[in-house]
Amino acid sequence: MPVTATSSHQQPAVIMLQPFTRRHPLAKHSSWVTERQLLERFKGGDRGVDEVVMYQVVHSADDDQHQVEILEGLVTNMFAVGRDPNDDSEDSMAIWTAPYGILHGSMRALCIQACKRLGHRVIERAPVLRDVGTWTEMFLTGSGSMLRPVGVMHVPQNACDSDASLNMLPSGSATPMGQSPVDADQFIRSWEFEDTRVGAAIRAEMRRMLEDTAMPIEDLR
């Protein structure tokens, strides 16, 4: 039976995907404060969005198709938990997180360490939207809440139509709308995640690790 939000003592986040990428992803850059204002306006609203998560569309050399890679939130890093579609073994559970095009937050690094201590396989590769059906959990890491489960993910129409609109993009293109956020009215697909068990265990391990080092959470992203 899925574990509800109360089991991790956190309200699951509502996230909204947007086609956007950082211009200077490897460091905290002053220009990002201005750039992200385009996306901050999507928070709240009728959907109660807690965090906007950026994605890009890239050409996949594996199957000569285009795919949506989920990168990071405005102030968080993102992880997806689920079955590895390339692994047919019974124990194929893995955790994905983007390794490039993002700011490598300290909480992200701590989370990866905690995953390894718990024996979870971490794949540092951007979660791909076409695999969402194999995911059991999603969660965000950041100094605001250390690790917060995702309860609902809203996705724009153009990202969902991977067999149609994405295949029409020229090879090697970035995103179908460049750096232009998608109007909220186009968000017609949503996925819900009820299971929070893996994330809750990782969060507990992260807290233990922080207690061992006596490092304040406020000093981390």
Q: What percent of the chain has pLDDT over 90?
A: 45
| Residue 163, pLDDT above cutoff 50 | no
109 confidence band (pLDDT: 50, 70, 90): very high
Q: Which of 58-62, 84-88, 173-177, 195-199 ranks highest by mean pLDDT?
A: 195-199
Q: What is the pTM for the complete model shown?
A: 0.80
Torsion of CA 121, 127, 129, 130, to 10 degrees: -50
What structural domains and CATH numbers belong to the chain?
9-212 (3.20.10.10)
Please state, in angstroms and rounded to a whole number, the distance separating the CA atoms of residues 208 and 118: 12
Give the contacts of 77 (CB within 8 A, at least 6 positions apart).
97, 98, 102, 103, 104, 105, 107, 108, 111, 140, 141, 142, 221
In Å, how far from its chain's centre is CA 123? 13
Cβ atoms < 10 Å from Cβ of 181: 17
3-state secondary structure string across 162-180: CCCCHHHCCCCCCCCCCCC
- pLDDT tens digit sequence for 126-144: 999 988 888 999 999 998 8
| Residue 2, pLDDT above cutoff 70 | no
38 confidence band (pLDDT: 50, 70, 90): confident
- 154 or 3, greater pLDDT: 154
